[in-house]
């Protein structure tokens, strides 16, 4: 496998991309890949790309604006609307490349990026299939999994940051992940250890995000779009997920016209490591290969 830097422009902002090409294949099919909440392309996406390359599939992984090697301010700002625009720009960029088969494109996303994949699949022509791994499907349902005190803290932090942005102050940050009992976007028992295990030792990533996303999460509901998806979807979800309700994922599955759904007896972060990763990457690679054949 060969990795090429392949940046693109989204809404005037340079976004960083890596194109992984399988050895010895002329114009391979390609899968566009985006990571989850606050994550960067360096957080393990090359491991999936290696598995896909072994099946003759190229991969294009990218950093959302404000993250990783992409431009954009304030840093680590999570905006569903902006990130969905980055998805569209990434797909358009891949379609402009002459070293891949632009008639055979798949989408792949995990966690928050899995929600982006579902929305993007519903809105995008010229794609053959999509893979959503432990996808974020309904922000409103996620918000109501919090107790009352947590919801009030979230609203307070979000309003404080939003007011500061209006007054041109520096962002008010909250952590992406923390231990149970500490405030963060993700503070379930498996969140901190599971998330931190994905981060390379030499990463400059910071565990913080402008708190305004706490106001936006309940409004972001990929479940409302999935009935418009016209091509096959592989959806892999975690039966012991503490971040995303498996019941809500199943309601989402019921709305997708052509879907292969696989429920695994794992937690949210177990899909990225060990034997679970091996099994999942193999299933995803076979699904994509068959769709793009």
pLDDT tens per residue, range 9-42: 999 999 999 999 999 999 999 999 999 999 999 9
pLDDT at 223: 98
Spacing of C-alpha 129 from chain mean position: 16
Q: In this predicted structure, what is the pLDDT of residue 216?
A: 95
Q: What is the pLDDT of residue 52?
A: 98
pLDDT band at 1 (very low <50, low <70, confident <90, very high): very high
Contact 30, 103 (CB under 8 A): no
* CA distance linking residue 238 with residue 36, whole number of Å: 15
Rounded to whole angstroms, the maximal C-alpha distance in the chain is 57
| Mean pLDDT on 186-191 | 95
Confidence at residue 280, expressed as pLDDT on a 0 to 100 scale = 97
- The answer to whether the Cα torsion of 63, 272, 209, 117 is positive or negative is positive
Asked if residue 43 has pLDDT above 90, the reply is yes
In angstroms, what CA-CA distances link 2 with 5, 32, 53, 72?
Answer: 10, 16, 9, 28
* pLDDT at residue 265 is higher than 90: yes
Break the chain into its structural domains and give their ranges: 2-139+220-292
Long-range contacts for 153-156 (Cβ within 8 Å, ≥24 apart)?
A: 153/183, 154/214, 154/215, 155/214, 155/215
pLDDT in tens, 198-230: 999 999 999 999 999 999 999 999 999 999 999
In the chain the beta strands, taken as DSSP E runs, fall at 2-5, 8-10, 13-15, 17-21, 30-34, 58-62, 105-110, 129-133, 173-174, 209-210, 233-238, 259-264
Burial annotation 92-110 (CB, 10 A radius, 16+ → b, else e): ebbeebeebbbebbbbbbb
pLDDT tens-place string over residues 46-80: 999 999 999 999 999 999 999 999 999 999 999 99
Which DSSP symbol is given to 18? E
Edge to edge, the sheet with strand 17-21 lists 2-5, 17-21, 58-62, 30-34, 105-110, 129-133, 233-238, 259-264
For residue 183, the model assigns a pLDDT of 96
Residue 136 phi/psi, 5° resolution?
Answer: -70, 120
What gap in Å lies between CA 274 and CA 287, rounded to an integer? 20
pLDDT score of 147 more than 90: no
The confidence score (pLDDT) of residue 22 equals 97
What local confidence, expressed as pLDDT, does residue 145 receive?
84
Contact 4, 18 (CB under 8 A): yes
Superfamily for 2-139+220-292? Alpha/Beta hydrolase fold, catalytic domain (3.40.50.1820)
Cα–Cα distance measured from residue 213 to residue 153, given in angstroms and rounded to the nearest whole number: 13
What are the tens digits of pLDDT across the range 112-130? 999 999 999 999 999 999 9
Q: What is the mean pLDDT of residues 190-201?
A: 96
pTM score over 0.85: yes
> Average pLDDT of 148-165?
94
Sign of the torsion formed by the C-alpha atoms of 60, 211, 199 and 145: negative
pLDDT in the model for residue 148 = 86
pLDDT at 146: 85
CA of residue 271 relative to chain centroid, distance: 14
Cβ–Cβ under 8 Å, residues 29 and 57: yes
- Whether residue 272 is predicted with pLDDT greater than 90 in this model: the reply is yes
User: Given a cut of 90, is residue 256 above it in pLDDT?
Assistant: yes
Looking from the CA of 166 toward its CB, the CA atoms found within 13 Å total 7
pLDDT confidence bin for 266, thresholds 50/70/90 = very high
CA distance from start to end of the chain: 20
pLDDT of residue 293: 85
């Amino acid at each position: 496998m060969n990795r090429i830097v392949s940046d693109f422009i989204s809404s005037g902002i340079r976004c960083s991309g890596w194109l992984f090409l399988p050895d010895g294949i002329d114009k391979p099919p390609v899968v566009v890949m985006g990571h989850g909440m606050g994550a960067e392309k360096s957080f393990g996406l090359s491991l999936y790309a290696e598995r896909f390359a072994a099946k003759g599939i190229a991969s294009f992984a990218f950093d959302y604006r404000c993250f990783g090697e992409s431009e954009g301010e304030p840093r680590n700002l999570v905006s569903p609307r902006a990130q969905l625009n980055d998805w569209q720009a990434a797909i358009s960029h891949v379609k402009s490349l002459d070293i891949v088969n632009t008639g055979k494109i798949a989408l792949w996303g995990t966690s928050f990026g899995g929600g982006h994949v579902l929305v993007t699949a519903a809105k995008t022509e010229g794609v053959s299939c999509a893979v959503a791994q432990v996808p974020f499907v309904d922000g409103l349902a996620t918000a109501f999994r919090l107790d009352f005190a947590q919801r009030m803290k979230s609203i307070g932090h979000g309003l404080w940051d939003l007011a500061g942005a209006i007054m041109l102050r520096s962002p008010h940050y909250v952590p992406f992940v923390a231990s149970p009992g500490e405030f963060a976007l993700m503070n379930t028992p498996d969140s901190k250890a599971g998330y931190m295990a994905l981060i390379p030792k030499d990463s400059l990533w910071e565990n913080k995000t402008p708190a305004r996303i706490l106001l936006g999460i309940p409004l972001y509901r990929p479940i409302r779009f999935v009935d418009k998806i016209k091509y096959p979807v592989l959806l892999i979800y975690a039966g012991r997920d503490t971040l995303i309700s498996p019941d809500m994922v199943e309601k989402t599955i019921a709305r997708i016209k052509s879907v292969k759904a696989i429920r695994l007896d794992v937690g949210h972060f177990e899909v990225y490591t060990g034997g679970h990763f091996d099994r999942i990457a193999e299933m995803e690679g076979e699904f994509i290969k068959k769709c793009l054949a």
